[in-house]
């Protein structure tokens, strides 16, 4: 299964290698960010968790950016997981929802982290998981 770094703790951060492939994309009438390197790491963690027995219907993927959401939705579809209850949504779209396992994609890790400036969004990002 997934090598949880600190048994007994429900929160874990996964290193994405320090590199960034962030893109600033035109999405409808606004601009949004995506990071394909981080998305690839997240998808590998997702595959490991599913292989370890976590049902897709109990997994949620949350990101603050609609461009990252679209990127992750395509990756989930490529894995054949569409229609199995795995939810990929933005922080705002996930309000009020829960899953046993939440995988969070912050996209950017520099000092200009956009959506993470709002404490309410951080609260949603960190409190949607029932177990981890």
- Phi, psi dihedral angles at 26 (to 5 degrees): -80, 115
Q: Is the pLDDT of residue 60 over 90?
A: yes
Q: What's the predicted TM-score (pTM) here?
A: 0.85
Band of residue 99 on the pLDDT scale cut at 50, 70, 90? very high
Higher pLDDT, 105 or 32: 105
- On the 0-12 / 13-18 / 19+ scale of CB atoms within 10 A, 82 is middle
DSSP label at 121?
H
Integer CA distances (angstroms), 81 to 35, 43, 67, 95, 112, in order: 21, 12, 19, 22, 33
What's the rounded mean pLDDT across residues 40-66? 93
- Report pLDDT digits (tens) over 16-50: 765 555 565 555 656 788 888 899 999 999 999 99
What's the rounded mean pLDDT across residues 70-93? 94
User: What pLDDT does 29 receive?
Assistant: 58
User: What pLDDT does 27 receive?
Assistant: 57
């Amino acid at each position: 299964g997934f090598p949880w770094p600190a048994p007994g703790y429900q929160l874990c951060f996964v290193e994405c290698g320090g590199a960034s492939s962030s893109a600033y994309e035109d999405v409808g009438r606004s601009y949004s960010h995506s990071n394909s390197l981080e998305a690839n790491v997240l998808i590998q963690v997702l595959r490991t968790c599913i292989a370890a027995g976590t049902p897709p219907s109990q997994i949620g993927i949350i990101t603050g950016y609609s461009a990252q959401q679209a990127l992750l939705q395509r990756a989930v579809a490529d894995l054949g997981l569409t229609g199995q209850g795995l939810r990929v949504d933005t922080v705002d779209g996930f309000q009020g929802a829960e899953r046993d396992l939440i995988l969070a994609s912050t996209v950017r890790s520099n000092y200009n982290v956009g959506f993470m400036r709002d404490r309410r969004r951080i609260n949603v990002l960190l409190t949607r998981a029932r177990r981890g």
